[in-house]
Structure 1
Amino acid sequence: MGNLKSKLSENELTIGTWVTINHPAVIEILSSAGFEWITLDIEHSAINIESVQNLLGHIQGNGMEGLVRVSKNEEVIIKRVMDAGADGVIVPMVKNREEAQKAVSYVKYPPIGKRGVGLSRAQKYGTDFDGYKEWTNNESVVIAQIEHIEAVNNLEEILTTDGIDGTIVGPYDLSASMGHPGEYHREDVKEALQKVVHKTQELNKPLGFHVVESEYSELRKRIKQGYNFLAFSLDFFFLGDKAREEMTKFKNEFSL
């Protein structure tokens, strides 16, 4: 069993991050920080399918597992990133059991799912389809992203869908679905998040959250709240926040 799959099944703490910048150097730099996995975001970035395959090679070659947050819960894009060699997918805007079942079916081959057969990097270009078929039906990771209040209300049926390994909260879109985009510190959004925590822990499932901020204090806060599948910030915040922080010190000292 893959390390991430195993940790999810055992509710163990695992920390990854998010990549939107289409360059292998970003992967190599982040690999030195100790992340266990990296998610390539192709929903809100300019990363295309060709780049997904290239970047996955760099992620896995640097000892991490590679997930892809796909653009939508759709058969073609999911099987393409899996054929490119992804260890799993994060599927956005899953709101109920039916949508969760669809996500699983697009990743897994029959008789578990409905994924069509193609030969590419994942299948070692046709030399190990049988091995990959067994791997994908038993070891691939399927994460449902909880980013709509409807998903919060239907959380139990999503969590108990066969083949769903875990969920991860997208705080920006969750708050947007409640009429307040980006305002995830509002009390009503906090209440919705607490419902997610309670229901997930009640069912003994892994509890995921994307900590957007690049400060360790925010990561630590979520760990203390019980989250154990955590995406810690993303590439451009790690880059930009540090640059802004240090330049602010400079400007303050020299009154620029």
Structure 2
Amino acid sequence: MPIRLSRTLRDALAEAGRPLYGGWITTGSPVVAEIMAGSGLDWVLIDMEHAPNGLESVLAQLYAVSGYEVTPVVRVPIGETVIIKQVLDLGAQNILVPMVSTPEQARAVAEAAQYPPFGRRGVGSALARSARWNRVEGYLADGADHVSVFVQIETLDGVANARAIAETPGVDGVFVGPSDLAAAMGLLGMQTHPDVTAQVRRAFAGVTAAGKPVGVNAFDPNQAMAYVREGAAFLLVGADAALLARGSEALADRFIGSPHDETSRGGY
């Protein structure tokens, strides 16, 4: 009996009547991934760039979240053809590729995620979870329908090229990373600095002018809502490790008194 795959993030964004709010999974734990998936969030990001994740742990987390009404996205560590192929063959239907600053880089990513003749994704669906071992009817012919590709802008060059990157065939949307953008601007750890948020808005303008959805990382609730007003269609608004860290600190502070200095926390 043919199996139907879940809708992609591209489709979820197209069908949504509001921004989609997501949670970052950075611990590498399938248990934590399942907890996040069952929280009511719209999407989750399984991270391979800044988290202790390899192919096996990503596969375990894809299994863990698969029973919930949540859209999983896997961020690969780099836009490398073999890594993209392997992650797609695990059954990831949505990928996010970091540090894309030019349309040429965006095109290479898009080609790596699609089969020939447009792309250069290796063909192994009969052996892979992606096509459920050939139980998804017509997977090879309809491969592009089952996969959505998002790229991440994190540099000033990326901001300047935002529209061209978003217009790249095969790119379904763009995600802006204020933390690395702040670092590139000499404002390390100051992702809500007015100069940084101005560049984020500039990237937004380029992506929306291309008719593609734009997303952003924003853990500060006020900043998140400001980005929504400025056109963000999907956002990361929290991370498992940060929720656990802040929650355990609050618990310690309530019963013991916490030594942690709020001003010492930068980055995400």
Same fold (TM over 0.5): yes
Residue matched to 2:106 = 100
Quick one: distance in 1 between partners of 2:137 and 2:188?
45
Segments of 5+ residues of structure 2 without an aligned counterpart are 1-5, 259-268
User: 2:55 pairs with 49, 52, 55, which one?
Assistant: 49
**SS of match in other structure, 2:116:** coil
Quick one: distance in 2 between partners of 1:134 and 1:40?
27
Moved over 6 A (4+): none
Cα deviation code 1:177-233 (max 9, x no counterpart): 22222222233222211211222333332120012x2x5444333323321111222
Residue matched to 2:96 = 90
Moved more, 188-197 or 9-18: 9-18
Decide which structure has greater helix share: 1
One-letter code of the match for 1:245? A
**SS of match in other structure, 2:96:** strand
Cα deviation code 1:143-178 (max 9, x no counterpart): 010111110011111011111111111111111122
CA contact (8 A) 2:163 2:206 kept: yes
Quickly say closer, same or farther: Cα 1:198–1:10, change in 2 above 3 A: farther
**SS of match in other structure, 2:217:** strand
2:156 matches 1:123? no
| 1:32-43 → structure 2 map (5 Å cutoff) | 32-43=38-49
User: 1:73 pairs with 79, 83, 86, which one?
Assistant: 79
**SS of match in other structure, 2:191:** coil
One-letter code of the match for 1:122? S
Question: Once the 2 structures are TM-superposed, how far is the Cα of residue 8 of structure 1 from its aligned partner?
Answer: 2.9
Cα deviation code 1:96-155 (max 9, x no counterpart): 111111111111111121111122111223x33753224431231100101111100111
Residue matched to 1:220 = 225
2:154 matches 1:147? yes
Quick one: distance in 2 between partners of 1:111 and 1:130?
20
Quickly say closer, same or farther: Cα 1:209–1:62, change in 2 above 3 A: same
Identity of aligned residues (%): 32
TM-score (norm 2): 0.85
Aligned residues: 250
Residue matched to 2:266 = none
User: 1:230 pairs with 231, 235, 255, which one?
Assistant: 235
2:222 matches 1:240? no
Cα deviation code 1:41-78 (max 9, x no counterpart): 11111111111111111112223222111010100110
Quick one: distance in 2 between partners of 1:11 and 1:243?
34
Question: Once the 2 structures are TM-superposed, how far is the Cα of residue 249 of structure 1 from its aligned partner?
Answer: 3.6
| 1:103-182 → structure 2 map (5 Å cutoff) | 103-118=109-124, 119-125=127-133, 127-128=134-135, 131-182=138-189
Moved more, 39-48 or 181-190: 181-190
One-letter code of the match for 2:209? E
One-letter code of the match for 2:107? Q
CA contact (8 A) 2:207 2:213 kept: yes
